[in-house]
Amino acid sequence: MKVFGIDPGSARTGYGCVETDGTRHRLLICGAITPPPTASFPDKLRLLHRELLALLEECGPACVAIENIFHAANVRSALKLGHARGVALLAASEAGLQVVEYSPAEIKRAVVGYGRAEKAQVQEMVRLLLGLRLAPSPHDVADALAVAICHIHTNSGAKSSRGARGARAATSWRRLRPADLSALSGRIRG
């Protein structure tokens, strides 16, 4: 099964597609859609919509998992984030895909085991669960992959999985050890 994760944002939207056989997860594609800062807000939304539609067509996922809004620094930020989420939901709907939504705490619990985990902990667990050499960066990309992994774990009842090399997966962020930080394969875009 392929799950496409989206971490929406008006300045940068992270995305990632994860394929799983139920026990092992494999990164198919990930990156960030970053409109030019000088573009008007409607143009940023149009670019986000166009890019997401193209990515969904390319990946052919079974469903789209997206992060819910939980809070924003101010009303203006919340409105802009809401617009970006709406565009992401529209793109998924136009692609004919089922959409599931998860709160940040649900995502962190499913991936790290702790609902108040820090961004670096999420990045590292995503790296381990997908068997990557480097943690996905920027954090929007790791968050999008975490949303996809959350959906996989929620649907399969899996608590953890094994990395690409078959090593025992960490069951807690406290057990993480520094990893080989050689270059990540060419799967990251953006």
Residue written as tokens 């799967």?
Answer: 187
d(CA 190, CA 159): 30
- Catalytic residue (one of 19, 51, 67, 124): 67
67 is catalytic: yes
- Catalytic residue (one of 19, 51, 124, 140): 140
7 is catalytic: yes
180 is catalytic: no
Residue written as tokens 């939304």?
Answer: 45
> 138 preceded by cis ω (within 30°)?
yes
Q: Which of 110, 116, 186, 120 is nearest to 153 (CA)?
A: 110
d(CA 6, CA 84): 11
- Catalytic residue (one of 7, 51, 124, 143): 7
Would you please indicate which residues are annotated as catalytic (active-site) residues?
7, 67, 140
